[in-house]
Structure 1
Amino acid sequence: MRLDIPTLLLVTFVLTFLVGVLFLLSWVQARGTRALAIWGVAHLGGAVASGGLALRGMIPDWVSIGVANAVMIAVYGLIWSGVRAFEGRTLRLALPVLGGGVFAVACLVPGFYESIAARVVLASSIAAGFCGASAYEIWRGRAERLVSRYPAMVLLCAYGLCYAIRIPAALIAPLPTGPDALQSPWVAILCFAAMLFTIAIAFTFMALTKERAERSQRLAASIDPLTGIANRRAFVREAEALLARPSPAALLLFDLDHFKRVNDTYGHAVGDGVLVAFCALGRALLPTERVFGRLGGEEFACLIPVDGPEEARRVAVRFGRAFAALRLPTLPNLRVGVSIGLAVSRPGDADFDALMRRADLALYRAKHNGRSRTELADVELPDARPDRSKAWAQAAE
């Protein structure tokens, strides 16, 4: 079966144009994702380049060969720039222009312009380089776990490989010249590859942006907006997962002392600043492998893996002293403190509610015994306080 190459190029033009419009419409709905706009412009440019190649023989050769191929090379650079924008890196729009400009300037040299092999080698090298660079940028952002990240990498590498293979093929296999230049099997292969790439890139890049938006929404739903740590719902979920491990863990319940007095005396802005400072100190001093969250108001909790009660007590006492030592030069009379209730899980005991009750009782004793102190839960003491752990767990469900 003989394929009509100009028809394939025309189909590529229409398909690429529609994908470009799709990207731009998506960007209109999500203006914060600048990559969508860049990818949209790139695909519209690809449509223009495909149209120029399809009109070979009907328009001047310097347009269909020099300009169209230069635009197509710049398009791959724009896709790379869009990937960088997606990953939050600095845009380098000069490189796509430079890539296309190198090819355009090279076409001004008669020897280069007359050699199809030379044109193929240069254009394919730059296009393959941009595809590989795009895959590398996505790989660099792998710390953000998105399901479509690796398919996008494979897709970009595969398309770059198509161009890379074309380089030795152009040097080994003779290419048609003159009016039959478009009848090369490589033109048909690249047309099909371009169409598949266009469709696949639309799906994978759209999937990447959707997954990031959904991930951001999940994080927003689990993060306390003021302090930036886990809210009560997320804390209970993560703490239960950590407690399910076989190693012992310690639950620290914090209650900032006389916090209402801070708000009444200095205002809620200062009170919020105290809460933020408390959490910043927690991030700096509490063990790295921890679950740290705000239960509500001035109450916080932290679950940490420990070797035993004494290690847990040392962590709690050190943190309490560090927080009490905080001073604000602009508010020299402001004093802060925290009462800490501490409970250590028993080996093989993953009952989070029971651990919460014990820590809550220890916190009650710390406040009853003078505040700004740490109390370790005593399993022999009866629980004389209302059971708040179930209410917390139910609210987190």
Structure 2
Amino acid sequence: MRLDTPTLFLMTVVVTFMVGVLFLLSWSQDRTSRPLAIWGIAHIIGAVASALLCLRGSIPNPLSIGAANALMLAAYGLIWSGVRAFEGRAPSYRLAVSGGLLWLLACLVPQFYASLPARIALASSIAGLFCALCAREILRGRPEPLASRWSAIILMSLYAGLYWIRVPLAVFVPSMPAARIPESPWIAILCFAGVLFTVAIAFVLIAMTKERAELQQRLAAETDSLTGLANRRAFVRRTQRQLAGGQPVALLLFDLDHFKAVNDTYGHAVGDGALVAFSHLAGALLPPDAVLGRLGGEEFACTLSGCGAGEAARIAERVRHAVAGVSVAAYPRLRIGVSVGVAATSPGETTAFDDLMRRADAALYAAKRAGRGRVVVADPSPHRLAA
């Protein structure tokens, strides 16, 4: 079936409007996602612009040419602003509408307004620029494992290329009379391609938003709400992944000494502050690839991949010494200490997480029994301990 240009224009209006409504409905379910609202408004404006373009010849040219293209370029600018908001940057609404304002100013020049190639070249250049800027913003966006990110970059880049290729075509290909433009097969092809890109890009943007929401939910389920560290479940899973790698793995168990007394004497707010302070201090002193988590209460754990028992003990002693030196001006008598149990696997040794945890826990118990505030290393043999 062969679709004529008016039908394709009408389809563009309907599809763009429906996409805008879809974005706004998605935003109504998650009012914290501002990009969805921006993209929805942008597509509604784009639908209005497409409707004005459809009415070319039935309404005054200042509306079907001037206002329609200005609104369309503003819509592309808003999509770019929405992408910036999605990537955590401030949306720039002034720059978003600058393309439309530039178009309106150019239309005030009689020579430009009378030249169809000039109008096509300018509008295509601005629209393509906003699409390219969208691709750039997504490319340099947040370091998140979003599967749809590269799809969005490719689609936006292709859409920019589709617009920019119109510039040399408008300049070097002989133009037909304005009355016969709707009959051109190129207009039908561009309309159809525009509809496809609109739907595809909308689908990818919504997919990226959904992926981020799911990622944030997953991270929240794996993160200790007080300290921001991995919770017990996440820590166990990451450690099991390290143990499966075949490299030596050292496990450090930290337990804040006399923590119940801190809560009883200074209150739970101060106790929570001590937990947060320890998590920040330990995180700063541990190697960058260390996995640090809170197992519950005042107990923390850390795994070091490729690290032997001796090196792990030195790292644990550095953390213990730093914690012992912490002082709070508001509470001069408050002192925080930590006991540490260390257990490590040997190169090529296959050890289950529960076995390694049991050895480290026994070492921690030995540290507390010996007077607290010290580091004890579990002997490679699960039946002997070395202090």
TM-score normalized by the length of structure 2: 0.96
Q: CA deviation at 1:176?
A: 2.2
| Structure 2 residues without counterparts, runs of 5 or longer | none
Is 1:330 aligned with 2:330? Answer: yes
CA distance in 2, matches of 1:159, 1:225: 42
Structure 2 partner of 1:111: 111
Number of equivalences? 384
SS at match of 1:279: helix
Amino acid at match of 1:357: R
How far is the alpha carbon of 1:291 from its aligned partner?
A: 1.1
Query: Which whole-Å deviations, capped at 9, do the CAs of 1:225-251 have from their partners, x for residues lacking one?
Result: 001000000000001111222321211
Separation in 2 of the partners of 1:150 and 1:344? 40
Preserved CA contact (<8 Å) 1:39 1:82: yes
TM-score where L is the length of structure 1: 0.94
Q: Post-superposition shift, 1:36?
A: 0.3
The secondary structure found in structure 1 opposite 2:71 is: helix
CA contact under 8 A between 1:361 and 1:383: conserved in structure 2?
no
Question: Is the 2:131–2:157 contact (alpha carbons within 8 Å) kept by the matching residues of 1?
Answer: yes
1:303-318 matches, within 5 Å, as 303-318=303-318
Do the aligned partners of 1:57 and 1:179 also contact (CA within 8 Å) in 2?
no
2:361 is matched by which residue type in structure 1? D
Q: Which amino acid aligns with 1:373?
A: R
- 1:374 aligns with 375
Deviations 1:192-216 (A, max 9, x none): 1221012112211110111001000
CA separation in 2, counterparts of 1:376 and 1:27?
Answer: 54
Contact 1:116 1:177 survives alignment (8 Å): no
The answer to whether the Cα contact below 8 Å between 2:345 and 2:380 also exists between their aligned partners in 1 is: no
Mean Cα displacement is larger for which, 43-52 or 352-361? 352-361
Post-superposition offset of 1:179:
2.2
Is the 2:359–2:382 Cα contact (8 Å) retained in structure 1? Answer: no
2:359 is matched with 358
What is aligned with 2:122?
Answer: 122
Q: Does 1:10 align with 2:10?
A: yes
Deviation, 1:183, is 2.8
CA contact (8 A) 1:131 1:156 kept: yes
Secondary structure in 2 matching 1:292: strand
Report the alpha carbon displacement of residue 129 of structure 1 after superposing the two structures with TM: 0.4
User: SS of the residue aligned with 2:31?
Assistant: coil
Q: Name the residue aligned to 2:78.
A: 78
Q: Name the SS for the 1:31 alignment partner.
A: coil
CA distance in 2, matches of 1:231, 1:2: 59
**1:309 shift after superposition:** 2.2
Match of 1:29 in 2: 29
Say which SS state the counterpart of residue 165 (structure 2) adopts. Answer: helix
How much does 1:381 deviate? 6.1
Question: Secondary structure of the equivalent of 2:251?
Answer: strand
How far did 1:145 drift?
1.2
Moved over 6 A (4+): none
Q: Percent same amino acid among aligned pairs?
A: 59
1:152 and 2:152 matched:
yes
